[in-house]
Structure 1
Amino acid sequence: MNMPWFKHRGPILELEQLLRRDRLGLPAELGLCPLNEQRMVVLDLETSGLDMRRDIVLSIGAVVIEHGGINLGNQFESTLLRPAQKVSESVLIHGIAPSELETGENPADALLDFMEFVGDSPILAFHASFDQRMLTRALKQSLGYKLKHPFIDVAELAPMLCPDNRPRQNGLDDWCTHFGLHVLQRHHASADALATAELALILLSKARRQGLDSLTALNQRLANWRQRQQAQFM
């Protein structure tokens, strides 16, 4: 039967991909679990640029914080298949060559692998709003999946928890230098995720000493902190 008015919406997925997508569970709500017992996924994305409406995800790196430490045996890294991606200035930053993008993983499979890696855990990132929007768009375009996981911004946690002892700038390099963290490599998704996780552990320790021993408590303090920051510029 000819139905010229019907148009397929969303990405075309194989049956196995559809089954995997539909098995993805809902994220857990931020609760009162002590921070030392809370599983968190620390994410970093490398992208084709900084335009959140047009640029795309090129690689994903992530590590897990659990039991109060970084589980180095449980990491995620994937470069996505992007054969049509043109060489741009961003290559000079992240160093992902066109040849790597031409042999990368199918984006749908890579994103499914990542979301299965995340499970129901909250996600931490440095300047998290960027990673959240880029990941949200990638999941929608490649899987027709709506991201609902809560994100916590390490770039907000750091100045909030260290108001009187902070570097002049608020970049990841600045905070790593401030706390004496030795970063072997930067602008590589998995290396940046590890550096962010190391910084997060320091900040979570400070949070506990300030009486903030759950993600719910941290999130509430962050909301109040944002309001105060906005009031200063009104």
Structure 2
Amino acid sequence: MIHQLKRQWQRRKLTRDGLEYLFAPPYAGEWVAIDCEMSGLNPKRHHLLSIAAIHINHNHIDTGNGLHLICKPPVPPTSDSIVIHGLRGVDVAQGMDYDAMLALLLPFIGNRPIVGFCPLLDMAFLNPLVKNYMGTPLPNEVIDIRALYSRRTGNRTEGVLSPDQHLSAILAHFDIPYVETHNAFDDALMTAMAFLHLKRVRG
């Protein structure tokens, strides 16, 4: 009920036509896994570099229809961050501006709940761009697979990331292969696989 009221309040702030569907109640059994790569961890100083999104339909991950978008940030990534995500200045220089990225991303996300690993950090980078684009942040429910895993294992850490809550550890728990290459699409795919296992466990 609280989430529904929040959606209604946010819809009144919508400034861009044609996006009303984002505020419709989500369909049962549909989610979207997302992952972002950033130039750092501070949304006030760093920038979004890429984002991937993959649909989850009931017990199926629609990998053939996923998005993986490279963005052109106002400041190129530093050598320290390139080591992590592999996106060089020359890579992002050919990327999309943020409005063009959102024009593709928002219809793909639609009204689906968003699934992620530490998604609040991703949303801290994404939502200011969304608000600038359409007048309000995304209204979608956000699901952190760490919270699902913590409830399953009984390991509650009050928001502090413990070693057995890292994505690699969660995947290992379900015998899901961990892809060492660090990019948004692979991370979104692994997040989606972990979510399906956790959803089945929850029944």
Same-fold status (TM-score > 0.5): yes
Runs of 4+ residues over 3 Å off in structure 1? 27-31, 141-145
Q: Does 1:58 align with 2:49?
A: yes
- Give the Cα–Cα distance (whole angstroms) in 2 for the partners of residues 75 and 192 of structure 1: 12
Any unmatched runs of 5+ in structure 1?
A: 1-18, 209-234
Q: Does 1:27 align with 2:18?
A: no
Contact 2:77 2:88 in 1 (8 A): no
- Give the Cα–Cα distance (whole angstroms) in 2 for the partners of residues 84 and 128 of structure 1: 23
Give 2:145's aligned residue.
154
Contact 2:77 2:87 in 1 (8 A): no
- Give the Cα–Cα distance (whole angstroms) in 2 for the partners of residues 63 and 152 of structure 1: 14
Counterpart mapping for 1:132-147 below 5 A:
132-142=123-133, 144-147=135-138
Any unmatched runs of 5+ in structure 2?
A: 1-14, 156-161
Q: Does 1:172 align with 2:167?
A: yes
Query: Percent identity between the aligned chains?
Result: 30
Q: Does 1:118 align with 2:109?
A: yes
Give 2:61's aligned residue.
70
Cα deviation 1:28-68 (Å, max 9, x = unaligned)? 4468x3xxxx1100000000100122221110011111031
**1:50–1:84 Cα change, 3 Å:** closer
Counterpart mapping for 1:83-94 below 5 A:
84-94=75-85
| SS of match in other structure, 2:103 | helix
Number of residue pairs matched? 183
- Give the Cα–Cα distance (whole angstroms) in 1 for the partners of residues 137 and 188 of structure 2: 23
Contact 2:23 2:139 in 1 (8 A): yes
- Give the Cα–Cα distance (whole angstroms) in 2 for the partners of residues 145 and 122 of structure 1: 17
Contact 1:27 1:121 in 2 (8 A): no
- Per the normalisation by structure 1, the TM-score is 0.71
Bigger CA radius of gyration: 1
Deviation of 1:80 after TM superposition, in Å, equals 0.5
| SS of match in other structure, 1:65 | strand
Give 2:94's aligned residue.
103
Give 2:194's aligned residue.
199
- Per the normalisation by structure 2, the TM-score is 0.81
Deviation of 1:187 after TM superposition, in Å, equals 2.3
Q: What's the C-alpha RMSD, in Å, of the aligned pairs?
A: 2.3
Deviation of 1:203 after TM superposition, in Å, equals 0.1
- Give the Cα–Cα distance (whole angstroms) in 1 for the partners of residues 56 and 105 of structure 2: 15
Q: Does 1:43 align with 2:39?
A: no
